[in-house]
């Protein structure tokens, strides 16, 4: 579509007329460039997804002649396997902690912030928050970076939510290093014709009906993010774009179509996510003026894009589009392993069959003779036949395949899997322990980047929630209200509740061999269980405590019985001492002196154990 006369030529990349402008024609070139990037990223995303899941139509490949009729292809899903193995520490990092963030008072770091952390957690962990978080982590591992957008959602406790954005639905100029420094970002959305028409009829911020008519005038193209090519009857989604750029430092958001439209679907407006700014009030209230129900506040517009990038790895090349994930790192190993296993299985199948040829020396003897004869049991063969089999491949090829995958486990920071999968007899307990310790260190390094991403996203969300609480738009408990009035440093809770706890658990496990033989064994074990199993550990601790109480009760009962027996015996000795006539002449010589001595000791002990009367002092 030709551009209007006042629009620079598409070859004129030096024009700066779009800066601080909301004119669609001035932004059209930049929008077109970003939309083309979205198309490239979508193609890359689809190719990566196909590579990860390695879907191969075996029958189709045979019909196309790329596979022989007796050939097998066994795809290995190494990329997906490594992603699934690596997801555990990420998921633990974001879910195991009972709180979403750790808050530290900037003015008084020693202040207790637990009530505020609990309240903020209920607002950051809205219903379904795990879905977008897991999707972002999965995309980060696969593609090299994940994208999350913070959006306003008045139906959630914090009136905010975060949404995972697929790599193929988010566009920016390819040399971008910091998403906040780019001039224009765009996110693709998919709407049916019914939805687009309904958007033109809504009362608040409707879409431009003329632009919608231009978009739906032709059938939708293959805009789907699916891996498959649909027929024209199966296409119902139109791709439109939400674009953001800055006007004098303030982020504005607008909606537009692709090259079918020539204007904004919805004109640019300042981006508002719910942030409020309190209006200063005079110290003394004017007599007769009513006290406002809510603190006066105004809308505060965003100066940063609400998109947050979660990098999988950081290297010397910090260009976002150049970040690499597991699909790039594992594709060669996956292809090699799939090829070797497929070739080996095909070769073994062929070697297990019987092959025949006529036992003749004339190479032209088979002219005009029937070919492709299949032999069966009991058939009469009227010619000399030679039988032979193909040689199967050497079994060492399986060790080579295992060596490839073991090497890949080392490369993917999974040394424990590599040690377990190694096929030799040199594995020792010490090696397994070293591998486990090394993996713990590598896992800690991996989640550090996720912690940086969460700190940035949760910090923005907390600031918006805090401003709305102070403006009285979000109701909280009065005891928590006071906490919101202070300034805080926001930290992801996983650093303390997951990483430090895992390190402490490892240290406590190593020290258990010493502590189990000390009087502090039960208390030490209770602390260890509570850190290893925060959700179910209390039940085990209660069992420990009940066993301790039962043991203490039994010991007290035994001691009480023993005390009673000793008191009865002592009373008997004292009684015998008072009646020397009970003893014979020999007993008075040999036994009575011992009884007399024991009775004297018992009476002294009894006298010493009696409470002494308190002496009162009278002061004149």
Closest by CA position to 139, among listed 169, 110, 119? 169
Contact 75, 54 (CB under 8 A): yes
Higher pLDDT among residues 310 and 67, named by residue: 310
Half-sphere exposure of 246 (CA within 13 A, CB side): 13
Higher pLDDT among residues 228 and 259, named by residue: 259
Q: Which segments of 10-113 does DSSP mark as H helices, in order?
A: 24-53, 58-63, 78-95
What's the rounded mean pLDDT across residues 150-165?
A: 96
Question: What's the confidence (pLDDT) of residue 13?
Answer: 47
For the record, the structure tokens of 335 come out as 């292809």
pLDDT digits (tens, 9 = 90+) for 290-323: 555 678 899 999 999 999 999 998 888 889 999 9
pLDDT digits (tens, 9 = 90+) for 556-602: 888 888 888 888 888 888 888 888 887 787 877 888 888 888 888 88
**Residue 442, pLDDT above cutoff 50:** no
Contact 575, 557 (CB under 8 A): no
Question: What's the confidence (pLDDT) of residue 230?
Answer: 60
**Residue 150, pLDDT above cutoff 90:** yes
- In angstroms, the CA 22 to CA 228 distance is 38
Question: What's the confidence (pLDDT) of residue 252?
Answer: 97
Contact 100, 122 (CB under 8 A): no
- In angstroms, the CA 321 to CA 450 distance is 18
Question: What's the confidence (pLDDT) of residue 393?
Answer: 78
Q: 269 has which bridge partners?
A: 253
Give CA 327 to chain center in angstroms: 18
Question: What's the confidence (pLDDT) of residue 2?
Answer: 37
**Residue 432, pLDDT above cutoff 60:** no
pLDDT digits (tens, 9 = 90+) for 197-237: 999 999 888 999 999 999 999 888 765 555 455 666 678 89
Identify the sign of the CA torsion 109, 113, 116, 120.
positive
pLDDT digits (tens, 9 = 90+) for 487-537: 999 988 876 655 566 667 778 888 888 888 888 888 888 888 877 776 677
Higher pLDDT among residues 156 and 541, named by residue: 156
Share of the chain above pLDDT 90, in %: 37
Q: Delimit the domains of the chain by residue range.
A: 24-281+293-327+442-492, 536-607
* From 309-323, 363-377, 396-410, 444-458, the region with the lowest mean pLDDT: 363-377
Higher pLDDT among residues 260 and 167, named by residue: 167
Question: What's the confidence (pLDDT) of residue 3?
Answer: 36
SS3 249: coil
**Residue 423, pLDDT above cutoff 60:** no
For the record, the structure tokens of 106 come out as 């900037």
Question: What's the confidence (pLDDT) of residue 229?
Answer: 57
Highest-pLDDT range among 184-193, 278-287, 539-548: 184-193
Question: What's the confidence (pLDDT) of residue 291?
Answer: 53
* From 164-173, 220-229, 300-309, 405-414, the region with the lowest mean pLDDT: 220-229
- In angstroms, the CA 49 to CA 448 distance is 26
Helix (H) or strand (E) holding 447: helix 429-470
Q: Which residues of 305-327 are buried (b: 16+ CB within 10 A; e: fewer)?
A: bbbbbbbbeeeeeeebbebebbb
**Residue 439, pLDDT above cutoff 50:** no
**Number of other residues whose CB lies within 10 A of the CB of residue 533:** 13
- In angstroms, the CA 392 to CA 314 distance is 46
């Amino acid at each position: 579509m030709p551009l209007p006369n006042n629009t620079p030529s598409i070859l004129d990349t030096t024009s700066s007329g779009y800066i601080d402008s909301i004119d669609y024609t001035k932004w059209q070139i930049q929008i077109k460039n970003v939309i083309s990037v979205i198309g490239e990223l979508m193609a890359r995303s689809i190719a990566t997804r196909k590579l990860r899941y390695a879907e191969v139509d075996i029958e189709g490949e045979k019909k196309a002649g790329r596979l022989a009729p007796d050939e097998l292809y066994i795809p290995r899903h190494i990329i997906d396997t490594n992603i699934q193995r690596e997801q555990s520490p990420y998921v633990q990092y974001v879910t195991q902690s009972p709180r979403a963030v750790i808050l530290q008072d900037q003015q008084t770091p020693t202040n207790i912030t637990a009530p505020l952390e609990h309240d903020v957690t209920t607002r950051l962990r809205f219903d379904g928050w795990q879905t977008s978080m897991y999707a972002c982590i999965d995309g980060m591992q696969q593609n090299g970076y994940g994208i999350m957008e913070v959006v306003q959602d008045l139906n959630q406790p914090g009136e905010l939510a975060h949404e995972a954005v697929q790599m193929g639905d988010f566009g920016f100029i390819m040399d971008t290093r910091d998403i906040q420094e780019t001039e224009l970002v765009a996110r693709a959305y998919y709407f049916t014709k019914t939805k687009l028409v309904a958007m033109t009829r809504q009362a608040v911020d409707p879409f431009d009906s003329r632009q919608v008519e231009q978009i739906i005038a032709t059938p939708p193209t293959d805009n789907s993010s699916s891996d498959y090519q649909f027929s024209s009857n199966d296409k119902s989604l139109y791709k439109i774009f939400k674009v953001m750029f800055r006007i004098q430092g303030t982020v504005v958001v607008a909606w537009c179509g692709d090259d079918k439209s020539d204007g904004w679907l919805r004109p640019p407006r300042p981006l508002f996510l719910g942030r409020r700014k309190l209006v200063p009030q005079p110290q003394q209230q004017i007599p007769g003026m009513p006290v406002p129900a809510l603190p006066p506040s105004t809308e505060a517009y965003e100066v940063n894009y609400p998109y947050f990038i979660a990098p999988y790895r950081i290297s010397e090349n910090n260009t976002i589009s150049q970040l690499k994930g597991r699909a790039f790192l594992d594709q060669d190993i996956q292809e090699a392993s799939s090829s070797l296993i497929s070739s080996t299985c095909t070769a073994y199948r062929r070697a297990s069959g019987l092959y025949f040829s006529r036992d003749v020396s004339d190479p032209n003897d088979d002219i005009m003779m029937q070919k492709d004869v299949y032999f069966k049991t009991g058939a009469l063969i009227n010619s000399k036949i030679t039988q032979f089999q193909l040689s199967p491949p050497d079994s060492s090829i399986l060790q080579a395949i295992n060596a490839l995958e073991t090497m890949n486990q080392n490369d993917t920071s999974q040394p424990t899997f590599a040690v377990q999968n190694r096929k030799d007899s040199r594995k020792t307990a010490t090696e397994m322990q070293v591998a486990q310790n090394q993996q713990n260190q590598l896992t800690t390094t991996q989640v550090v980047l996720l912690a940086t991403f969460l700190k940035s996203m949760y910090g923005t969300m907390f600031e918006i929630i805090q401003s709305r609480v102070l403006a009285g738009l979000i109701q909280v408990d009065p005891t928590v209200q006071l906490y919101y009035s202070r300034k805080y440093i926001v930290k992801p809770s996983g650093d303390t509740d997951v990483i430090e706890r895992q390190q402490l658990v490892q240290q406590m496990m190593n020290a258990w061999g010493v502590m189990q033989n000390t009087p502090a064994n039960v208390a030490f074990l209770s602390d260890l269980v509570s850190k290893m199993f925060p959700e179910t550990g209390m039940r085990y601790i209660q069992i420990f405590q009940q066993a301790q109480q039962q043991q203490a009760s039994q010991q007290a009962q035994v001691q009480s019985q023993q005390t009673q027996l000793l008191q009865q015996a002592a009373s008997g000795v004292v009684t015998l001492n008072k009646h020397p006539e009970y003893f014979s002449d020999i007993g008075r010589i040999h036994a009575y002196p011992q009884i007399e001595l024991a009775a004297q000791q018992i009476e002294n002990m009894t006298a010493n154990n009696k409470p002494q009367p308190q002496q009162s002092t009278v002061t004149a």
